[in-house]
A and B are shown apart, each in its own frame.
Chain A
Amino acid sequence: MAVPADLDRTMTMSGAMVEVIATEMRADEEMFYMGEDVADCDGIFDSTEGLREEFGRDRIMDVPISETAYIGAAVSAAQEGMRPIAELMFVDFFGVSMDQIYNQMAKNTYMSGASVSVPMVLTAAVGGTYNDAAQHSQALYGTFAHLPGMKVVVPSTAYDAKGLMHNAIRDDDPVVYLFHKRLMGIGWLPAPDGPKTGVPEESYTIPFGSADVKREGADVTVVTLGLHVHRALEAAEDGVDVEVIDLRSLVPFDEETVLESVRKTGKLVVVDEDYRSFGVTGEVISRIVENGLGDLDSVERVAVPDVPIPYSRPMENEIVPDSDDIIDSIHNTNS
């Protein structure tokens, strides 16, 4: 594990993210943050807690509920050399502003022959588990990772959230930083214990494309991200010696860490909170098949079946993979 064990300063994931944004904003006057309810409300998911008091409403900007306008404005401000962060409150709302995201933010550098760069961060809350139904519970990791031109980052702990956020802000290209609501440590949406970790006071970066082995094991490799890192760690307590890999970023994708683990275990289980088809699970498996087929004895995937997320609790529980589903798949790799 990358987290130094002896840290006595523990933080929630949102606390770690906010600390980084404040540090970077103190150092760079050209940084600002735009989003809905980010000023007086501190972000619906505590993503800007306390920042308005320090930086004022000019730099922690509440914006009109016009995602196309403010995300597009961030793209252009970034092209002018500023360092904006734009927050899309729920990733599910990307539809109303997708052109600015995937045709402008993601493509301008390439289309211009790299004569412009877009050093911005687009943050968004993802994920379900609290019965918020079909338009508020998606992960959509695969959607963003599929479209070229964006780095896609998904932290699972406060320690990782900090290092990844420093890296995201300092990156000269657009980064999509997807944080899981269930991991943030919000009063009205209690987090499991896992994401609250020790966090060093000083700044540090975690390079993108460096997956983290959250648990070492010899028998089965479980590859996952976000909330499901914690569910996989829970499943790993079931007796089989499981190695749990947290991807931390989808783009770039750390193939080497996964290949190395599969060389050891020969068994791969990929777990995702996104839809099953044409998504993260399929991509991870095909990468390993392409480059490590000889090491692979068996493969399983655990993901959301291809239907929208239903509201009712028993149905949502059924659809979002839990640790029992992961345990079943781990056992299936042995059968």
Chain B
Amino acid sequence: MEGKTPGFDIGAGQIPGELHLAAGQEAAAVGVCHHLRDYDTVTAPHRLHHIAIAKGVDLNRMTAEIFGRETGLCSGKGGHMHIFDMDVGFAASEIMTEGCPPAVGAALTAKKRNEDNVAVAYIGEGALDQGAFLESLNFASVHDLPVVFVVEDNDWAISMPKDRITAPRDGSKRADGFDMTGDRVDHDDVVAVYEAAGEAVGRARDGNGPTLLEVQVHRRMCHFMGDPQTYRSKGDQTAHRKRDSIERLAEDLRAFDIGDEELEALRDRGPRSCQGGDRVGPKNNRSPSRRLLTRTCSPTHPRE
């Protein structure tokens, strides 16, 4: 057990379960979602909070959900891995690539209704080998659907490096086999992602079919909070911390004469838009046994 015994029990504390933080992956979320509208659909996997924020999910209610509150987006039943905010078209599933078929379905709906909605399915690079993803690529391609598959390549699938489990090295090459446009952004520069995603989302919105876009990002943290990362060299961990896309963006902005004060003001705006854990709403007041068996099926919507 040496070196493999972290200081905490992931089932204890205020935010239990496997919490997957996304520090280092912001560019992939912001660069893509900036092109999306509220009615566009996004599906996300286990590492989802950066994407949720970029898609405009209600931050206070997401925070409440993370704390398991009744006021949370999913009444405390979903938790931090299974966030749903249908007001902005956001849904998540932790079973790898199982968000891809639903994204294809959202795109199919848009096509059938002749609407310009776009769907985006996010996956990690470790999911490039999963059936639901590959089947979805083919379905989207053969039906020319307005969907963009975004692969966040952070080099690691828990302890497994990309080259140990996936061929080819460049995941966007998967597109070739499905007669679909593929593109890869080799560094997590939010501006470069924004440009590549602009083309992909534009292609979908204009009815010109799907795109597979892979974006190099970085996993600054462990896989989930509590993962001791014994498989990962210290050098790799610190290298990833140094390649921060936010710092990169700050440098770019400085080159446009944006001063430190302005940058600070920008940074401040983020935290202020969310009230934080203690203020996200009342503590649960109904007993768990009362809440547990509610909303197990849909409220009925009579057909008009």
Please tell me if A334 contacts chain B, counting CB pairs below 8 Å: no
Interface residues of B (CB under 8 A from A): 1, 4-6, 8-11, 16-18, 68-69, 74, 76-82, 93-96, 98, 126-127, 129-132, 157-160, 164-166, 226-228, 230-231, 284, 288-289, 291-293, 296
Bound together, the chains give a CA A193 to CA B284 distance in angstroms of 32
Interface residues of A (CB under 8 A from B): 36-37, 39-42, 44, 46, 49, 62-66, 68-69, 92-93, 95-96, 129-136, 187-190, 305, 307-308, 310-315, 317-319
Give the Cβ gap from A101 to chain B, nearest Cβ, in Å: 14
Residues of B within 8 A of A136 (CB): 17-18, 81, 94
A95 touches B9 (CB 8 A): no
Interface of B is mostly: loop
Bound together, the chains give a CA A62 to CA B93 distance in angstroms of 24
Give the Cβ gap from A266 to chain B, nearest Cβ, in Å: 31
Interface of A is mostly: loop
B4 touches A42 (CB 8 A): yes
A-B contacts besides A188-B9, A318-B292, 18 pairs, CB < 8 Å: A36-B158, A41-B159, A65-B126, A65-B165, A96-B132, A129-B11, A132-B18, A133-B17, A133-B81, A134-B77, A188-B10, A188-B228, A189-B9, A307-B296, A311-B68, A312-B288, A313-B68, A317-B288
A130 touches B288 (CB 8 A): no
Residues of B within 8 A of A310 (CB): 76-77, 292
Residues of B within 8 A of A40 (CB): 159-160, 230-231
Residues of A within 8 A of B76 (CB): 310-312, 315
Bound together, the chains give a CA A131 to CA B15 distance in angstroms of 9
From B79, B126, B131, B164, give the contact of A131 (CB < 8 A): B79
Chain B, residue nearest A40 (CB): B231
A313 touches B16 (CB 8 A): yes
Residues of B within 8 A of A314 (CB): 68, 284, 288
A66 touches B289 (CB 8 A): no
Chain B, residue nearest A42 (CB): B4
B6 touches A93 (CB 8 A): no
